[in-house]
Amino acid sequence: MDFITFYFILMNYSVVGMLSIFTTISHSVQKCYHIILSAFVGCFLIRIFPEVTGWIILAVLVVWDLIAVLTPFGPLKLLVETAHERGESLFPALIFKTMIELNPDSSLSLEYISTGQTS
């Protein structure tokens, strides 16, 4: 890959990344960006650290994520409460949202998704 192609890809990736973090861009674009970014970070960590270190970092991140999200004193709860008190909104990519994206032609109905029963 030549320098011009690499620079073009890098700039496009950077612009999409900034848009996904600081604007309300499509959720599928946000998810794709975060997955690709995670893969890049993983590849980088695999190259510079031994395998055991990678597994240790993974375990520490899992524990940190559980503490940050599930505990009442976690940083995520403090961040959301502070933003709510100030009347500010959070960055769209800061809080991960899960949602079901339905195709209008899909045979699943909203009633089934919300209740788990068909009519």
Instruction: Name the residue among 60, 18, 56 with its Cα closest to residue 37.
Output: 18
Around Cβ 20, how many Cβ atoms within 10 Å? Answer: 22
What is the per-residue pLDDT across 7-49, written as a single tens digit (0 to 9) for each?
Answer: 999 899 889 888 887 777 777 888 888 888 889 888 888 888 8
What is the per-residue pLDDT across 75-87, written as a single tens digit (0 to 9) for each?
Answer: 888 888 888 888 8
Q: Where are the alpha helices (DSSP H) in the chain?
A: 3-22, 27-48, 51-70, 75-86, 110-115
pTM: 0.56
Q: For 50, which DSSP code?
A: -
